[in-house]
Amino acid sequence: MPAYKKIQAAILQRIEAGELKPGDAIQSERELAKIHQVSLMTARHALGSLERDGVVLRRRGSGTFVAPPKVHFNKLMSFTEQMTGRSLRPASTVLSFGIVDEEPEVAARLALTPGTRLIRIERVRQGADEPFALETCYVSADEFSKLTRPALERGSLFSILEREYDIELSYADEEVDATSADATTARLLRIPPAAPLLRIRQVIYSTKGRPIIYVLGLYRSDRHNLLIRRFR
């Protein structure tokens, strides 16, 4: 492990342990260099990328300080993670699980040739026993042949892909708009027909930048809202 990463790890550990709280001063660059027996440039590099990750704030002439607690904006999280983060017990019901080969638009979004066989999964997502969303997701059937309905009912899709296929998911591009519930959706989500829904079409990419999952989600707008941070 490079020296600068060791320095970062040491600082992160002190923050996680609660030894350093937001606003507290970190050791100066020169102190860090001395303590870790590295040159000033290396200590600076360590702080530089901690700063870019939002862990730390540097003020010239004054020092380096622990940044305010991270707000989880623009974070890609599985449904399970979202729910547990809000301390709601997550649950899912698989409505359907099957293979389709006539979804050229979805295939295109996954950068696959039009006729490719896809696994199509329809789920109702629940939190605290209330339905939150209706999600339809697609992955390549040939690539993820080990993905079965029982496996999905046990664990989350994210974790299956990460564990069984060694695919690290990295980011998602989302298209968000509003729509209103049709009769079936309304019944499944236990809302009045034509109630407003947040519609999110999501392409989830691996660390290599390859599209892996396509998700169409319909979210009850009385139970869900997006938090986004945009930059100028």
2 binds, among a copy of itself, DNA, none (CB under 5 to 8 A by kind): DNA
Q: Count CB neighbours of 79 within 10 A.
A: 22
User: Which of these ranges, 14-22, 101-109, 141-149, 167-175, lies near a copy of itself under the rule CB under 8 A?
Assistant: 167-175
Among 16, 129, 166, 177, binds a copy of itself (CB under 8 A): 177
Short-list 4, 54, 58, CA closest to 26: 58
61 near DNA (CB under 7 A): yes
Q: Which residue has the tokens 């696994």?
A: 119
Site string for DNA, 9-38 (x = CB under 7 A): -----------------x-xxxx-----xx
178 binds, among a copy of itself, DNA, none (CB under 5 to 8 A by kind): a copy of itself
The answer to whether 29 and 44 are in contact (CB under 8 A) is yes
Token pair of 99 as six digits: 């293979």
User: Which of these ranges, 42-50, 119-127, 152-160, 181-189, lies near DNA under the rule CB under 7 A?
Assistant: 42-50
The answer to whether 180 and 197 are in contact (CB under 8 A) is yes
Residues 6 or more apart whose CB falls under 8 angstroms from that of 189 comprise: 124, 131, 132, 133, 134, 181, 197, 218, 220
59 near a copy of itself (CB under 8 A): no
CB of 31 to DNA, least distance (A): 6
- List the interface residues with a copy of itself, window 194-223 (CB under 8 A): 194-199, 219, 221
Q: How many residues does the chain have?
A: 232
The answer to whether 109 and 173 are in contact (CB under 8 A) is no
60 near DNA (CB under 7 A): yes
What are the residues binding a copy of itself (CB under 8 A)?
41, 52, 71, 73-77, 168-180, 194-199, 219, 221, 224-232
